[in-house]
Structures are given as C-alpha cells and as structure tokens.
Amino acid sequence: MGVHGLTSFVEGNRQFFTDMRLRDCRLVIDGCSLYFRLYFNSGLDQARGGDYDTFVELVRQFFAALSECRVQPFVVLDGGMDHTDKKFKTLQERAQSKIRQANALSRGSHGCVLPLLTCEVFKQVLSELGIPFVQCISEADFEIASLAKHWGCPVLTNDSDFYIFDLKGGYLPFSFFQWNSVNGKATERYIPARHFTVNRFCSHFNHMNKQLLPLFAVVIGNDYTPAKITEVFFSRVEFERVPSGRRYGQSSSPRIEGFLLWLSQFTSPVVAQDEVLEILGEQRKGTLRTQLSAGIQDYQLPHSSSLAQYFSSPQPALPDAQGLPAALVSQPEWLLRMVASGRLSSFVLDVLVHQKVLLVAQVENSHLPSSHTSSLSIRKTIYSLLLEKARRDSQTPQGVTHRGRGRGRQSQGKGGQQCDVPCVDEYDRQELNLKKNTVEAHRPNCVPPLTLASLDRASAQVRLQVLLGTLGVMDSVLQPLPPHLCLPVCVTYFWMNNCKPKASHHLLQAILLGLVYGDLCWRRAHPNDPLFGSKASASVCQRLSQLRVIPGQRRGLDLGLAHLLSQWQSCMWAALFLNQLLCFPLPEPQCAWVFSGTLLHGLEAAIRGGRQCESLLAGDAVAWQLYSILLEALMGPAAAAAASRGRGEEQRPAQQRGRGHGGRGRGNEGRGRGSGGGRRGNRSRGMTSSDNALDNRFALLTFDEDQQW
C-alpha cells in the first residue's frame, strides 16, 4: 500500500530507530522490494533491456550474506491485483509513469524501469538456491506482516505500511540494511541494520496509543484512501504549531507531526475516529465511516498466519478458500498450487480474476507500436486456455444470450449457437499514453482445445502441440537442440516472423552468440559438466563479454535495436507464461543466460562492424558447434550453409546489398506483418528496409499462414 510521505519522514529521523546486528534468526523478506532494490541500487543496465546475468550474481551474494550470519530467509512475493479493484487507479498511474520514464531512458535521460524478465529471473535463482518462497494471490504486504507477527521475527522490505503494522520483531528498512558489509567474528557474523518498532515510534508522540496508527495512515493517505478524505480533513482542521525544539530534523513534516500529536490526545481509536468523522462532516458520515473502517481493517493482523503452515509443511497447503476471490474458488487445484509455488506467473491471476492486465513498459521507440504487439497471438492463446470455461458457460441456444462474469463479444458458435467470446482488457503503451485495448481470447486453429481443469493431465505431446502451434514451429526442429535452449530458439523463430520492422541478419547472429555465451557460462559453473574449468570456453566467454556496452558510457542508445530486442523479450515473456500454464512441455530456460542487453548491443555492433562469428568463437569447437546447430535450426541447412559460406559478402556497402530482390519474402499484405515498402528515413541499426533484403537469407523465416516450418 504505502503511506504518503511517511518513509521520508521516518527514515530522516535517526531517533525512531535502534541499531541492530542481525544474525541467528528468521527473516521474512518482501521479495518484490528485494529485487527492485538490488537491481536499481547496483547501477545495472535499464536502457538496453537489462543484464540478468549480473543481477543473478547480486541475488546470490545477498543470500550468501544471510547464510553467513545464520539468518533463515523466507521470501513472500506479490501476486495479482487486489480483487476489489480499489487500487487499480493507482496502478494505472504507476504504469503511465513507467511509460514516461522508459521514454526518458530511450532519450538518454534518467528513469527507473525494471527490465521485463527480472521477476522470473529472481524466482529461478530462489529455486536454484533452495530459498523458501511463496507467491501470494494478491498484494503481499498483509501476508508478510501476518507471517512476521506469527513468528515474532523482523521483516525486510521498503514499504511505509510497515511503520504502521504492530510487529514484535519489528521492521528493517532496506535503506539501512548493510548486507554487503557483514561484520563480526567468525562465529558471530552479523549484518548491520536499523530496527523500527511502533512502540518506540509512538513514544516520541506523547506515548500515543499505537492502535491509533491505522487511523493515522488512512487519513494521511495511502494507496487505497480516497484522496477526498485527506483533502477535506486537512482543509478543515488546524493543528497546534509544532514547537521548533521538537521538530524532527531536516525531514520534518508539519502535517505528519501535527496530526500525530493531535491523535495522541485520544486514548481510544473509536473516539478518535468519531472526531475525524465530525470534522469530515455529517452529510456522508455513514459512507465515510465505512471507508475509514475498511482502511483501518487493512492493518489489523490475525493471530496466526496461513503462510507459517505453508512454509512448514512438506506438502504445501492450498491458499485458504475463504480468502480467495470468487473467480478463483472454482479453479483447479493444480493451478493454485503452481501459482503459490511461483512456477506459474501471477499474470494468470489478473486474467482469471479481472479479465484485464497491465503490460509492463519497456525502453523502446515510442513512435512505433508497443513491443508487446509482437507477442499478442501468444497472449491470446493464454487467454483462451484460462477463459475456456467462460466461453463454454456462455454458449446458449440461438437467440438466447447469457452473459456470465467478465467481458465478452458475441460471435456465432457451432450449431448456430450464439456465444460470448471472452475478452481481456490489455493496458499498454500507445505513443506516450496508457491505453486500453480489448483482446479476444482466441487460439490458433492448429492448436488443439484443452480444458483448464484437466490440462495438467493432458499428454505431454498434446501440450507441446499447443505451445509449438502457437509459436508456429514444427517439433522436428527441436530434435538437434539442447533441451534447455528449445524454448529460446522457438521464441526467436516466432519473433523473426512477428517483429516490426524486420530484424537484420547481424541481430540474429548476435542473439545466437548470446545464447552460446550463456550456455558456456552456465556449464562452466557446474562441476559435473564436461566444460567445467574449460580454458577454451573461458577464453570465448571473455572475448564475447569484452564487447559489452558499458552502462552509463557516452555511447548513445541504438533505439532501433533496443525496440527489436524489447519485442524479443516480450515474446519470451509471453512464451514463458504459456509454457508454465501448459505444465512445461519444454524445459524452462534459465532466463539470466538467454538475454543480456549490454552484451547483445555490443555483439550486434561488432558484427555489423565486420567481426565474424567464427573468429569470435575461435578456439572452442563446442561453442562453434552449438552456434551452427542454432543457426541451422532457425534457417534450415541450406540457408545456414549459405550464410556461413557468404560471411564476407555481408560486408558490402548497404546500397549494393539486395539489388534486384525488391524486398522479397516481406510483402504478406493484410496479414499484419508489414509491407515491403520500408522508408529510407527509418533505417536504424538492427533493422532492414525494402532495399536491404540481405540476400534473401530470411526467406525461410517469412511464411504464408498455411505453411509449416
């Protein structure tokens, strides 16, 4: 939630905290706050799509520091949007802000935009390290506080609501949590931190009743409080001037201090609430009382936490049905278990509960359509799987209309029936504004139907057919590929056919080199792998890594390339979710090793400047063999061989390349893949235009709808 202005006020006043040496205890961690904090505080790339491999090392170092101090972490992650929708306006405002920040980054200005796959990377590292974690149904704040209260241990987060929750173990703000400065003797290692409790805080305000703090939070304003309540209350009440001698440092807030001192005169929260209602006025007292009471209730913690049982049980329990939104009560058990375990993205919860989603802003060309447009057909398949029951329930005899929960459009069904096609409202970037687009839940005709209730019991072959059918790939393509690279290769193929503008051969080569680099790095780190300790592989990894673009250097952002790579990430993001929903017909790849933005930007520039892939992989036969397998899988044997033989030809001046080809294989008018008439003024690195057909090397990657690969 977040209480307006409270973080800067409290954290700016040292006397509200005590110093703490954290060791030998449990620690409940707000997972979303952690990965945001680690990423943004470490100077990692944001403009080029993110450096997940570097981020992974930070996450490992963080949990290694906790282990060194014998601190047992329990990570709790946010789920979907609140089922009451009372925070949706705030979420829209944040999404709009991220669009503008992403645009600022694209122009070389400052902004904070978390790369798209960060959460998935974070969950994969937690699983790899064996860190206990759970993904909530909605916002995690209340569950985090309830678990910490149940165990009597501290909470690590960056949320001002934890200055309101009454927790015996207290609250450790990330701002003062020095995890990278472990101190103490070998047997008494600790992490320096600052510790907050509401008891100490209230003692500074005439020892006010701590049960008044929820009322304070609601009236001062949080993410759920109607702004009118705060505005009207403070326009009608006058506080005594706070004596200059008791103001708290440079972060003094007369409104916050004055209101806390005003509340301290009341011994009972009920009496204080009545006084607040009197100030707000008589006319809407009933409605206002309901709103205030509901807001205060959000801070009332239960005596026990269901998450305590979840973490202690060898077979984790399902979420409490009484606390589930109505739309989830009837959902299959396997789906709810996968959501709780983090193996299924919370994205599906927003589809099931609200039939609307907020798509994450990326750094891209704001004059072009959103990068998420490229992955729309994958999301449509996800929606059709999740909302198939809604489609069946809406089918009625001809002439009769039955509308169930959610949104839909009428269409003609089988046997002359009328049915409502389920729809999902997507909130996405249109130029620099957040716009709603209503999308029909539709699966490709080549994809077999599946019901959500029995999806987990469907054969692996059928589930794979749904995935590959959506991506437009035949299963024979997978045979020569390492299992963990099957999904990235399928995604790359899908992206090549759906990205706009079309990608250059240089960019495809860079992406494949990035996959090779990630595979070598991963294998070299595992003692049981034949490449463990390989000097040849180490040399190739070092050679490729040296080509990275260094974040913050004066070299400008290649916006055309950034836009294409944002489309690739969107396709991977959606395909990951579809693969999860289908219960992993393909192994889930380690996202940290399939994409590194600064590496791909550097590789593309090097290849475009004349560096040959063979020379970049020289000295390691394993690396070159893997690159050749990936290239052949995407382009076919003949085209891959031609590309290998004709490497020198790629360095001809742009005006000579593709003469006489006229943009072959790129027309496809009316099919949403663009036309061959690319404008010369829009020729950016990583893109091709109509007179740059690249010797037609991607003819195999542009098909009619009825063609198979």
Per-residue pLDDT tens over the stretch 458-515: 999 999 999 999 999 998 899 999 999 999 999 999 999 999 999 999 999 999 999 9
Cα 446 to chain centroid distance, Å, stands at: 30
- Of 644, 672, 693, which residue sits at a domain end? 644
Q: How confident is the model at residue 686 (pLDDT cuts 50, 70, 90)?
A: very low
pLDDT at 254: 86
> Are 378 and 294 in a shared domain?
no
Number of domains within the chain: 2
263 lies in some domain:
no
Same structural domain for residues 444 and 549?
A: yes
Which tens digits make up the pLDDT trace of 45-70?
A: 999 999 999 999 999 999 999 999 99
Half-sphere exposure of 514 (CA within 13 A, CB side): 32
**Greater model confidence, 591 or 187:** 591
Last residue of a domain, one of 644, 667, 687: 644
| Amino acid identity at 561 | L
DSSP string, 55-122: HHHHHHHHHHHHHHTTEEEEEEE--S--TT-TTHHHHHHHHHHHHHHHHHHHTT-------TTHHHHH
Average pLDDT over residues 697-702: 38
Q: Are residues 375 and 294 part of one domain? A: no
Going by pLDDT thresholds of 50, 70 and 90, the confidence category of residue 400 is very low
pLDDT tens-digit readout, 248-284: 554 568 889 999 999 999 999 999 999 999 888 865 6
More confident residue, 426 or 527: 426
Which of these three, 247, 282, 298, is where a domain ends?
298
Contact between residue 103 and residue 96 where contact means Cβ atoms under 8 Å apart: no
What sign for the dihedral angle of Cα 54, 55, 61, 64?
negative
- In a shared domain, residues 501 and 602: yes
Q: Is residue 616 part of a domain?
A: yes
Q: Are residues 283 and 384 in the same domain?
A: no
Burial state string for 62-99 with b = 16 or more CB within 10 A and e = fewer than 16: bbebbebbebbbbbbbbbbbbbeebbeeeeeeebbebb
Read off the pTM.
0.87
pLDDT tens-digit readout, 349-366: 999 999 999 999 999 999
Q: Are residues 285 and 428 in the same domain?
A: no
What confidence score (pLDDT) does residue 232 get?
A: 86
Bridge partners for 3 per DSSP: 222
Lowest mean pLDDT among 9-18, 100-109, 638-647: 638-647
User: Could you tell me which of 623, 419, 615, 436 has the C-alpha nearest to residue 512?
Assistant: 623
Q: Judge whether 696 lies within some domain.
A: no
Position 420 confidence tier, pLDDT thresholds 50, 70, 90 = confident
Task: Judge if 430 and 290 occupy the same domain.
Answer: no
Residues 291 and 378 in one domain: no
User: Does some domain include residue 344?
Assistant: no
User: Poorest-confidence range of 56-65, 324-333, 569-578?
Assistant: 324-333
Residue 277's domain comprises: 17-201+273-298
The whole-angstrom separation of Cα 19 and Cα 193 is: 6
Q: Are residues 572 and 438 in the same domain?
A: yes
Cβ neighbors of 434 (< 8 A, separation 6 or more) are 92, 95, 96, 99, 427, 428
The CATH number of the domain holding residue 151 is: 3.40.50.1010
Residue 601 in contact with residue 558, Cβ under 8 Å? yes
**290 and 383 share a domain?**
no
